[in-house]
Amino acid sequence: MRDGSRLMGEATAFLALFLDNLGVLVFMSSILMFTFNFPADIIFGRMVPGTAMGVLFGDLVYTWLAIRLRKKTGRTDVTAMPLGLDTPSTFGMAYAVIGHAYIATKDAVLTWHIGMCTLFMIGVVKVVTSFLGGWIQRVIPTAGLLGSIAGVGLLLLGFLPLVEIFSEIVAGMVALGLIFAVLLGRLELPGRMPGVLLAVLLGTAIHFFLGWAGWIPEFKAPVIQVSLSIPALSADFLRDLPRALQYLPIAIPFGILTIVGGINNTESARLAGDDYRTRDILLTEALTSLVASFFGGIDQTTPYIGHPAYKKMGATYWYTLLTGLLVGASALFGVLSLVVSLIPRAVLAPVFMFIGFEIVRQAYRESPPEHSPAVSFSFLPVVASLVMIILAQFLGAAGITPDKLPARLAAMLQALTVLSNGFIMTALLWGGMMAFVIDRRPRLAGLYALVCAALTLFGIIHSVLPSGEVYLPWHAPSSAPCTIALGYALLAAVFLLLKHPPVPPFGPDQVKHRT
């Protein structure tokens, strides 16, 4: 009976981890295909198989680490660290890098290379920060670290999928009701049926019924086609690295956040009884993200939250082994292209809304209560990015360029462009700066403002170019970067002139956070 229970737990853990990764790949592919009209052959023939290589190699290494710990301790209940694709950065890559680059260049191959280069930069950041994770946690408040990604969770994972639901509201609402009832309300369905699976199956059935009945205007019958897609190892994409440097402000925060998350997840596993070396866990996620870029991948890998939950299920190392192998096989044999053609985005959207809500909840929960305004403040650059994502599609479809707009609207568009460029890095710095203001530490807040001023001069944040490109201060296209930097410098002066209290008024939560 015990073996049967453990086998069931292993199977449950495998399905949870596999479907999580599969869902990320499916929704990413759907965004690129249906939102940006990106060529499907490059998505399924190059991007997805290369990205899957990161999951394959990462889960194989984590499986080996679990087997090694099992032999070292003599325990048979060692649970491998779960690894998969990072959901927030996947959406960030789809909307803020791949979609943005494709709209700007209209060159699918160049855009794919820019995605690979961005993932390469993320991998480099992760390798470096894997040695500096503890220091980063001390110098960047949680409100900045998690607030920046929570903005992505609320707006890119929350709002944009909601648009998909309302584009096909019947199937979308049924799926939303079932998924939210099970995941948020923790309600049980009759016969204990799996709610997420039922939502996907029922929502898909409604989609096809309405589509074939002629009630969905843009309905297309699925094409059942499976083809072999073997990723090739190549470094040719690095020739386009200069074109990808403008996305460095996105790569840096995404890399830092997963490393910090990896530190927390490793500590969570230790408390659950599996004492992995933090450096092993972090370097694995860093190196497998790098490996994926050389195979054509565009999304980073990261250890998932929930090791203790997988352990309670009775999972050991088999679930990561099977996940890695099956994700790799699904990508190589073209199964994902079949899944994308069958499952409508409106049906998958509630899953990502739930993930987005959980990220927001974590940001507010892990930050000291006093820092909640800082978390909220860090959402604002992401709002600008969301508005620009939507505006770019409408303006592009209408063939409207900024010079055709009235002066007032052109100025507003330029302000949104400046605010949205480098939005993840801006959100991180704004959240950290506001947290130090709340803590009555004006000198550190002033230092953050000066960092913003310096980065603005190079276009790393607030690039004045529509493409978001970085530049040298003396080659800036206008005086606007100097003006924005001056604004930040004066803000720093305001903070530095304020009276510095002798003892910061930390409460217990803040002391715990900073130690």
Q: Are 333 and 49 in contact (CB under 8 A)?
A: no
Q: What angle do CA 83, 85, 299 make, to 5 degrees?
A: 135
Residue 55's nearest CA partner among 250, 233, 283, 284 is: 284
Query: Quick one: pLDDT at residue 17?
Result: 87
Residue type for position 358: E
CA distance 359 to 112: 28
Quote the pTM value: 0.84
Q: Are 114 and 238 in contact (CB under 8 A)?
A: no
How do beta strands 83-85 and 301-303 pair?
A: antiparallel
Query: Quick one: pLDDT at residue 514?
Result: 39
Q: Are 96 and 298 in contact (CB under 8 A)?
A: no
Residue 20's nearest CA partner among 310, 309, 304, 335 is: 304
Q: Quick count: other Cβ atoms within 10 Å of Cβ 447?
A: 18
Query: Quick one: pLDDT at residue 123?
Result: 95
Residue 418's nearest CA partner among 451, 387, 384, 392 is: 384
The pair of structure tokens assigned to 492 is 């720093």
Query: Quick one: pLDDT at residue 458?
Result: 94
**β partners of residue 301:** 85
Helices 108-129 & 278-294 angle (0-180, nearest 10): 160
CA distance 122 to 254: 7
Backbone φ/ψ region at 352: left (φ over 0), alpha (ψ -120 to 50), beta: alpha
Continuous segment of H or E residues that includes residue 301:
strand 301-303
Total number of residues shown for the chain: 515
Q: What is the SS3 assignment for 302?
A: strand
CA distance 153 to 488: 27
Q: What is the SS3 assignment for 224?
A: coil
Residue 281's nearest CA partner among 64, 477, 10, 442 is: 64
pLDDT, tens only, 104-145: 899 999 999 999 999 999 999 999 998 887 788 788 898 998
Query: Quick one: pLDDT at residue 512?
Result: 42
Q: Quick count: other Cβ atoms within 10 Å of Cβ 224?
A: 9
Q: What is the DSSP letter of 85?
A: E
The pair of structure tokens assigned to 158 is 């929350």
Q: What is the pLDDT along the chain (515 residues), one digit of tens a residue?
A: 355 566 777 887 888 888 788 888 888 888 898 788 899 889 988 999 999 999 999 999 999 999 999 999 999 889 999 999 998 889 889 988 999 899 889 999 999 999 999 999 999 999 999 888 778 878 889 899 888 888 988 998 889 889 989 999 999 999 999 988 988 888 888 877 777 788 889 999 999 999 998 888 877 777 666 677 888 899 999 999 999 998 988 898 889 888 888 888 888 888 888 999 999 999 999 999 999 999 999 999 999 877 888 888 888 999 999 999 999 888 888 787 777 778 888 888 888 888 788 889 888 988 999 999 999 999 999 999 999 988 887 887 788 888 888 989 999 999 999 999 999 899 999 999 999 999 999 999 999 999 999 999 999 999 999 888 889 999 998 999 999 999 999 999 999 998 766 655 544 445 444 33
Instruction: Give the phi and the psi of residue 18 in degrees, each rounded to 5.
Output: -65, -45
